[in-house]
Amino acid sequence: MSDIYDTIIIGSGISGLFTLKHLLEENVKNVIVLDKNPEPFGVWNINNHPSVYEKTHTVSSKLYMTITDFPFPDGTPEFPHHSIILKYYQDYAKRFNLYPYIKQNINITSVVKKNNLWIVNSEGGTYYSKNIVCATGTVNDCPNIPTEKYYNNFTGQKKHNDNYEKIQNVKNKNILIVGGSDTSSDLAMELKNNNNVTISIKNGMWFQNRNFGAYEAADMYYNRIADFFIKNIFSKKYVDNNTNPSNINNIQFWWGERGSGIDIWQSKCDYLNSYYVKSREIIDQISKGVILPENGIRDIQQQNITFETGNTRKYDIILFCTGYKPLSCINFLDKNIMNSEKYKHIFYPTDKSIMFVGYIRPYLTSIPMISEIQSRWIAKVISDKCLLPSVEEMKKEIAKDDLNQSKEFPCSYDRLKTIIDPYSYYNTIAKKIDAIPNYINLFFTNIFLFYKIMVGSWNQHVYRLNDESKTKQDIAIENINKIYNSKISKKAEYTVIAWFYYYLFYFVAFIIILFLLYHAYRDKKQILKYIKKKLSIYKK
Ligand SMILES: Cc1cc2nc3c(=O)[nH]c(=O)nc-3n(C[C@H](O)[C@H](O)[C@H](O)COP(=O)(O)OP(=O)(O)OC[C@H]3O[C@@H](n4cnc5c(N)ncnc54)[C@H](O)[C@@H]3O)c2cc1C
């Protein structure tokens, strides 16, 4: 038998590499990363498949793509091009000496456990390990293609965005894009230059602007005070009520109902309970008549497609932007493990030696931000610095989390069981590894930093303030200061201050009314006398 590894990580995308880096930091050095693609960095490396497209920029802002102990170079744009992200990840791998542990062109075909050891079979050989970490990503070789029968009648070309390169240069075609997502928006913006593009969205979708001003990423307009009040005092419903289209000074008033103002695209779910498209470029194009919106498809006859609106048009190409099947694509694993619910979306409860990183879908922020904290926890569990609860406790918590998730994301849950609220989820994981700073202590020792953390844009750097490494703490403080000074963070701060005055006003008015009522009750006559006296003075 060849070497037995402590841990084999499957996938050299950023989630796999985060896990590797944190294992090395926890002194687990007998590790290997195996990946079937020719080069590391998963989808962010355009030489791999699947990967980003030539024109891809991130939809998550630079803040949420930042690794907590490895800042972007100064001057990085708010929504970097994929080549910038790749260079950033390459520098990260160099800085933390990750390359020697990575092996490419290894396609894993089966992973089975025998005698407490995982046997990893690949087309190029067999590997053995005590632990397995799956990091095969949410964009993979299993495109999700709709199964409605009418698609079989279509006589034009059918493609999934996975094969976009095959149609990216077509001209003068009628193209129907099926699905509302960041990808469908990006590809519609490209294809519309030379073709007629229609987008069909069946169950509605929220559209959120990527920016306020040019250097003000919209996803940064959120802070810890807002998070605390929304989650603990008001509820998400409060925010939804305040997005009402008839009230000035709110999202739907300025962006149209459900962020688009398109009747047939109205999502049934509220703002903070949905997955959004993080760009409104196509809404502009729809207003110019360049892109056509449609809802569900009713029927297809040859190339003629009839929509639920009753419109029928002829199309040359259907482009499915309907996502991927993330977990069911892990076909090298036992189906029971693959299909089971995981504890906090990471741990298979009945066997803690197999773990999953990067399979969550935060409705805002980014996947890498979440997989970084997940991998910190995984590394602590593997190195025995953190213990997991008992199997029963994990199963109980899974059932509870599942129920909460279905209530919180009613429109997305069936299709996307891994959709999460990134802020609550991050806090939950950070708590498990003791990464939440002692805010009370901070209040008394460094009130300025405390204030910046509370009112500045919500950020992941806060969870490095407890770190054993002084260097990492210093990087975190520098990042928190930079974020606090950004224009969008200031807007979040002003909003909180405005809220404060608004409620203070009502509170003071309430106290005054109570005071008056109290006195009126105590001495009705005296108040009446007083008013009469005042009035008589005015009459004179
Ligand atoms: C166009 C595009 C834009 C995106 N923009 C954003 C964004 O702005 N914000 C955001 O948060 N996310 C974005 N994403 C999602 C992106 O997937 C994540 O940001 C992140 O790259 C996920 O990293 P990962 O390591 O989990 O997965 P991946 O990068 O997908 O890496 C998984 C790796 O596993 C390997 N693998 C899979 N199966 C096997 C097997 N059987 N054997 C061996 N190796 C295997 C693959 O080869 C791959 O290298 C975007 C994705 C695309 C395609």
CA 475–ligand 1 middle distance (angstroms)? 27
When pLDDT is cut at 50, 70 and 90, the band that residue 235 belongs to is: confident
Q: Which of 63, 111, 139, 168 for mutating ligand 1's site (highest number of atoms within 8 Å of CB)?
A: 139
On the question of pLDDT at 409 being above 80, the answer is yes
Q: Return mean pLDDT, the chain.
A: 93
Highest mean pLDDT out of 138-147, 404-413, 525-534: 138-147
- Which of 136, 211, 322, 371 to mutate for ligand 1's pocket (most ligand atoms within 8 Å of CB)? 136
Q: How far apart are the first and last CA of the chain?
A: 109
Nearest to 58 by CA among 284, 221, 217: 217
Q: Give pLDDT, residue 362.
A: 93
- Residue 105 CB partners (closer than 8 Å, separation 6+): 35, 36, 37, 38, 124
Phi–psi pair at 216, nearest 5 degrees: -125, 90
Average pLDDT of the segment spanning 173-184: 96
Instruction: Say which residue the tokens 């094969």 belong to.
Output: 163
Check residues 327 and 63 and name the one with the higher pLDDT.
63
Q: How do residues 66-95 score in pLDDT, each as one tens digit?
A: 999 999 999 999 999 999 999 999 999 999
Around ligand 1, the residues with Cβ closer than 6 Å are 10-16, 34-37, 42-44, 48, 52-53, 56, 58-60, 107-108, 135-140, 332, 358, 366-368, 371
CB 90 within 8 A of CB 80: no
| Both tokens assigned to 218 | 């919209």
The per-residue pLDDT for 258 is 86
d(CA 413, CA 482): 36
Q: What average pLDDT does the segment 129-133 reach?
A: 98
112: helix, strand or coil: strand
In this structure, of 129-138, 148-157, 262-271, 405-414, the range with the lowest mean pLDDT score is: 405-414
Tokens 């962020």 locate to 259
The rounded Å distance from CA 30 to ligand 1 centre is 24
pLDDT tens per residue across span 23-47 = 999 999 999 999 999 999 999 999 9
pLDDT at 170 over 90: yes
Q: How far is Cα 319 from Cα 130, in angstroms, rounded to an integer?
A: 43
Strands 174-178 and 317-320 come out as: parallel
- Quick check: 382 pLDDT over 60? yes
Q: What is the mean pLDDT of residues 134-138?
A: 95
pLDDT exceeds cutoff 60 at 1:
no
pLDDT at 249 (0 to 100):
62
Atom of ligand 1 nearest to the CA of 357: 26
- Answer whether residue 274 shows pLDDT above 90: no
Ligand 1 nearest-atom number relative to CA 332: 41
User: Which pLDDT score is estimated for 267?
Assistant: 87
| pLDDT at res. 247 | 67
Which is more confident, 412 or 131?
A: 131
pLDDT at 223: 96
Distance from C-alpha of 43 to C-alpha of 174, rounded to nearest angstrom: 29
**CA 459 to CA 63: how far, in whole Å?**
8
Token pair 């490494």 in the structure block, residue: 469
Which amino acid would we find at residue 440?
Answer: I
pLDDT at 259: 84
Q: Average pLDDT in the 373-384 region?
A: 98
User: 333-343 pLDDT, tens per residue?
Assistant: 999 999 899 99
Peptide bond into 143 cis (omega under 30): no
Protein residue whose Cα sits closest to atom 26 of ligand 1: 137
Name the least confident of 3-12, 399-408, 423-432.
399-408
**pLDDT tens sequence across 291-322:** 999 999 999 999 999 999 999 999 999 999 99
pLDDT for residue 3: 84
The DSSP bridge partners found for residue 299 are 306
Taking the centre of ligand 1 as the mean of its atom positions, its distance from the CA of residue 43, in whole angstroms, is 4
**Cα dist from 424 to 362, 380, 413, 429, whole Å:** 10, 20, 17, 9
Domains of the chain listed by start with CATH number: 4-140+326-436 (3.50.50.60), 149-320 (3.50.50.60)
Report the separation in Å between the CA atom of 537 and the middle of ligand 1, taken as the mean of its atom positions.
Answer: 79
Distance CA 271, CA 286 (A): 22
SS3 (DSSP) at 305: strand
Predicted confidence at residue 248, as pLDDT, reads: 63
The whole-number average pLDDT for the span 131-149 is: 93
Mean pLDDT of 451-473: 97
**Distance between CA atoms of residues 306 and 194, nearest Å:** 23
Q: Specify the pTM.
A: 0.93
416 or 203: whose pLDDT is higher? 203
Angle 168-174-175 (CA atoms, 0-180°, nearest 5)? 55
For residue 160, how far is its CA from the centre of ligand 1 (angstroms)? 17
Q: Which of 10-24, 119-133, 266-280 has the lowest mean pLDDT?
A: 266-280
The atom of ligand 1 lying closest to the CA of 367 is 11
**Residue 509, Cα to own-chain centre: how many angstroms?**
41
The pLDDT of residue 241: 65
pLDDT above 90: residue 499: no
Q: What percent of the chain has pLDDT over 90?
A: 79
Confidence category of residue 141, pLDDT binned at 50, 70, 90: confident
d(C-alpha 207, C-alpha 414), whole Å: 20
Instruction: Say which residue the tokens 């038998």 belong to.
Output: 1
- Site to probe by mutation for ligand 1, drawn from 20, 109, 367 as the one with most ligand atoms within 8 Å of Cβ, is 367
Helix segments in 137-268, DSSP class H: 182-191, 224-229, 236-241, 251-255
pLDDT of 360 > 90? The answer is yes
For residue 397, is pLDDT > 90?
yes
